[in-house]
Structure 1
Amino acid sequence: MKEMLPTALHQALFYWANKQPQHPFLLAEPALCYRQSANYVSALATQLSGSQRVAIWLEKNNHYALSILAALSGGACYIPIDSKQPINRVDLILTDAHADTLIVDDKHLQLVEPLLTKYPQLKVVLIGEKNTQQAANTSFFDWRLHLETEQPYTSEAWCTNNLAAVLFTSGSTGRPKGVQLTHGNIQHFVGWCQNNMSLGNSDRFLNLASFNFDLSTFDLFVCLAVGGSLYIANDDAPKQPMTLANVLSEHQITVMYCVPSLLNLMNRIGLWQQAEPLALQHLIFAGEVMPKPCLKGLASALPNTHFYNFYGPTETNVCLAYKVTEEDILNNEPVAIGLPIGDTQAWLIDEQGNPVSNESGAMGELVIQGSCVTPGYCLESQKQANHALQIHSTGDIARYHNGQYYYHGRCDRMVKISGFRVELGEIEACLLAHPQISEVAVRYCAHTSKLIASYALTDAQIKIGTLALKTYSAQHLPTYMIPHKFECFGTLPKNANGKIDYPTLAQVNDE
């Protein structure tokens, strides 16, 4: 890993604040230039002094991004929590990540207050315009007071191995996994983008991904690395196509990174035409398989745009990348996930863990090694020994063909829903904790993009409605993990080994 550049991660904010102080950094309200943003971050970093692990639970807006940069500038790592996470999951995250500080707004302070007695040492920072809340161990940060107050642009000393972020993903045991990313992990990806994507300070990035989703590291840190401008869309933006069209047009967005399912929706409703005139130059997709009809539709609607397919689980961030060619658009072959970026190495292994020869057509589980591989998980029980060697077995089946890797599904029961990684076992573990459910099986129907939960009750006389089960699930799971359909059985079908027979359930559910 090369020595960090002055434009590495949060350092870039202060670099550009000196170089181009009036250049717009954050485009959504409150719109802020680089100088104002650096003043805000420096002041908040001072208030976070002494913190090591800063959890952030805010509405998704400019304050969220600036809180991330302040945590890093103060020498801490950031632990992003989705604004709509249920309080039970927030509790797990605070515990497993060993958070010593929590940044909240008024809304989330009210939600988290019942938990604070459990964390007497937790320092809470409330971001707002006036202090309307008084809770134990809570300090107030009035951001408006600091925008025009010049601050010394300094940050704590750090190195590539310092922890930068802890991103929580779905876990098969029923407990989310906190993936630890170092400065070096993120900078490996950011540096590759700087060197390979022809980006500059005139570019305008659109952030759609939640900050607890690894796609967001591109939006924030690549934008900063090149001195660009960033529009942070709220959580509901992907569900409001007309609002999204207005943002693309009004702010002349040039760089957009999102999941294919959103692009598919935008194609279907003709959003690109509604957003004209467009300035979009780089459209990146990841997190799901790109359907070929969707890609052809994008190419037709956006003839002057470059398309990229990025690949990588949270444990490696982006580790393979592919730039779509004219030939890809014309043929009916799947879109490649590409080749390793930076110092990354990739190879295939068979079911016994033996390397598979990289001959054209070879298939196996994809294994990744390099600076992109994270140190592993927060909990010792979840850690993998190979991570110490910067090696990660992805659990993804890939094919090597014509000099590129292609994605061919999973080895296990993990699925991707709207780009989020979902372990079906985590949903099952949640539902099994319900006092009236004796057994449960959750499957994902690819044809309908629906999660289906089949369950049996402890007492056949008891009836539980779908609404009650959805309400129960919402208390423990993020929205995207709540099953769309619940089906009650007297007993779930079993195979010869006495295990739940998922293929039989699939036939029943799909009928």
Structure 2
Amino acid sequence: MLYNITNLIEQSAVRYPEKDAFKCLDDSISYKALDSKADQLASYLLDKGLIRGDRVAIFMNRCLDTAVAFYGILKSGGAFVAIDPFLPLERILIILNDCGIEHIVTTPAQTRKIKLITQKAPFLKSIVGLSENLDVKTVSWEAIFSRTLDDYSPARILEHDLASILYTSGSTGMPKGIMHSHHSLLSLAKLEADLHNLDNSDIIGNFAPLHFDQSLFGYLSGPLVGATTVIFPDSYVKLPASLSALVAKENITIWFSVPLILIQVLLHGHIEKHDFSALRWIRFGGEVFPVKQLRQLMLKWPHAKFINSYGPSELARCTYYILEKPPETDDPIPLGTVWNNTEFKILDTDDQPVNNGEPGELVIRTATMMIGYWNRKELTEKSFFKIEMAPGYDHIYYRTGDLVYENEQKELMFLGRIDRQVKLRGYRIELDDIEAILLKNELITEAAVIVVKKDLEIRELEAVVCLADGAKINADDVIDFCKLFLPSYMVPQNITIMHKFPRTGTGKIDRNKIIELLETQTL
């Protein structure tokens, strides 16, 4: 029986001891070695006084050591907090303080940043992965892997114990920590493995950093079935031609990434030079995939199944839509239907179910739902919709904040964020609607529509677009195009053309940064 996440690696260490569990370029680690090294890291943390539920930071770029850190922390009974090493120092310190973190697991590549962190974080007790002497105790990976396990007693872990805290941007500008239990992440592992008919012959492409929930597919579902997960380093993810070649070389069978990575590979990855016949699933999620590029990619890889995956980090994932053939029109791709062990409702502004076909907020009840937000009790309560089934017994749904409707085929269709609806000059405007129109133009590859404050009283609708290679179109042409499809009050007053968009650490368009640049007129 599988009760917690650590059981995944322990089970596969018995079934597939010498099989590669994770690979990264020329390095690899077998299931047996991963289980043993995770035990050694866990024994160190326990010796340092870690108790069940304590938070431990993983501060690494995409590398093989992340797998040891992931399972070692969990085996100690701790909860991992994956932190993006590219974050500004002050934001890192906010997360460390908020979580009460005393131990950081890292690599020598992060020495410079760790030195800065330790100078401003006196509460830290140890740094795992460094041999250099600091004010805080350090212990090298060599020392960890030389530990004997004679006196090691694994932590007793229950399924509803805290397993991870994932920090995302908060509407107030302060990051919020999403808590997941062993139960919710184990449920995710099972549901994703079932969705893809995953088995030990699969090779999973892991393109996401550990602080992005898409990475959990490879770290959880792979070990569940004994598959191999290939971790792609940061440098390869940023270079489409190199990424494309490595995917083909590794014979990746399942690809799961944000649309941006797939689009870059399509446009600049020279995919016609490589053999991708091993690919059987192409899965994307995190943001909308422009249909025209999706169609082009499906025509180039007709042998693979394409699947749209949706779900906020509070749920990890919850819906899917399998594309049987390339879309014939540019109509939006459905979110699809919820997967197993999950149900949904669509609510109006009074929290009442809408009539069939009407739009409303999507709320989800599922086994993969978060525990809540760390240290944010009031926000946690606001994020849940509860139906009392009996005194003291509620059905609890997560409020996604996404506006959807159910079409005649019983598929969920995404309309936009509730908080992406704005009111200008007396009109209610869905910013996502305008972006969808912009993307109908074949010369435009990406679009972001925002509301910019020019002064204290005036707000303007503006759009920023990226153009296809060699496209000859100017801002006035884009505005004229919008006028063909949009009412006058929805046509952006200004169009800015960029070579590339600023992005968050997970690859999504950083609209806040775009607004900041537009408002300061530094674009």
Equivalent residue number for residue 347 of structure 1: 345
The correspondence for 2:418, drawn from 406, 411, 436, is 411
Q: How does 1:85-124 map to 2 (within 5 A)?
A: 85-116=87-118, 118-124=120-126
- The code of the aligned residue for 2:21 comes to F
| Paired residues of 2:67 and 2:219 also in contact (CA < 8 A) | yes
Equivalent residue number for residue 496 of structure 2: none
Q: Does 2:171 align with 1:172?
A: yes
CA apart distance, 1:37: 1.5
Q: Does 2:367 align with 1:371?
A: yes
Cα distance in 2 for residues equivalent to 1:369 and 1:393? 9
Q: 1:439 to 1:114 in 2, by over 3 A?
A: farther
SS at match of 1:158: coil
Q: Deviations over 1:354-413 (max 9, x none)?
A: 2213x2x32111111232221221132533345495321111111201111011111114
Equivalent residue number for residue 40 of structure 2: 43
Q: Could you tell which deviates more after superposition, 11-20 or 405-414?
A: 405-414
Q: How does 1:103-252 map to 2 (within 5 A)?
A: 103-116=105-118, 118-127=120-129, 131=131, 133-143=132-142, 146=145, 155-252=154-251
| Unaligned segments of structure 1, at least 5 residues | 429-436, 450-472, 491-508
Cα distance in 2 for residues equivalent to 1:369 and 1:195? 19
Cα distance in 1 for residues equivalent to 2:194 and 2:30? 25
Cα distance in 2 for residues equivalent to 1:355 and 1:479? 31
| Paired residues of 2:260 and 2:507 also in contact (CA < 8 A) | no
| Unaligned segments of structure 2, at least 5 residues | 387-395, 422-430, 436-447, 468-501
- The code of the aligned residue for 1:372 comes to T
- The code of the aligned residue for 2:182 comes to H
- The code of the aligned residue for 1:9 comes to I
Cα distance in 2 for residues equivalent to 1:40 and 1:206? 23
- The code of the aligned residue for 1:365 comes to E
Equivalent residue number for residue 75 of structure 1: 77
SS at match of 2:27: coil
Equivalent residue number for residue 406 of structure 2: 400
- The code of the aligned residue for 1:315 comes to E
CA apart distance, 1:196: 2.9
SS at match of 1:483: helix
| Paired residues of 1:57 and 1:81 also in contact (CA < 8 A) | yes
- The code of the aligned residue for 2:415 comes to H
- The code of the aligned residue for 2:360 comes to G
SS at match of 1:39: helix
| Paired residues of 1:39 and 1:147 also in contact (CA < 8 A) | no
CA apart distance, 1:230: 1.1
Cα distance in 2 for residues equivalent to 1:231 and 1:248? 9
CA apart distance, 1:92: 0.8
Equivalent residue number for residue 517 of structure 2: 486
| Paired residues of 1:60 and 1:83 also in contact (CA < 8 A) | no
CA apart distance, 1:118: 4.7
- The code of the aligned residue for 2:228 comes to S
- The code of the aligned residue for 1:225 comes to L
| Paired residues of 2:34 and 2:68 also in contact (CA < 8 A) | yes
Q: Deviations over 1:189-232 (max 9, x none)?
A: 21112223211111111111111111111121111111111111
Report the aligned-residue RMSD.
3.5
Cα distance in 2 for residues equivalent to 1:151 and 1:441? 67
Q: Deviations over 1:44-88 (max 9, x none)?
A: 111111431101112220112220111111111100011211111
Q: 1:477 to 1:189 in 2, by over 3 A?
A: closer
Structure number with the bigger relative contact order (C-alpha 8 A, sep ≥ 6) is 1
Number of matched residues? 443
Equivalent residue number for residue 57 of structure 2: 55
Equivalent residue number for residue 469 of structure 1: none
- The code of the aligned residue for 2:321 comes to Y
Q: Deviations over 1:98-137 (max 9, x none)?
A: 2232112234343233443554342222315xx2x11233
Cα distance in 2 for residues equivalent to 1:145 and 1:160? 27
CA apart distance, 1:235: 2.0
Cα distance in 1 for residues equivalent to 2:347 and 2:256? 30
- The code of the aligned residue for 1:89 comes to R
Equivalent residue number for residue 310 of structure 2: 311
- The code of the aligned residue for 1:80 comes to A
Cα distance in 2 for residues equivalent to 1:61 and 1:378? 27
SS at match of 2:118: helix
Cα distance in 1 for residues equivalent to 2:412 and 2:74? 35
Cα distance in 2 for residues equivalent to 1:440 and 1:83? 38
Q: Deviations over 1:328-370 (max 9, x none)?
A: 634543211111222221111112322213x2x3211111123
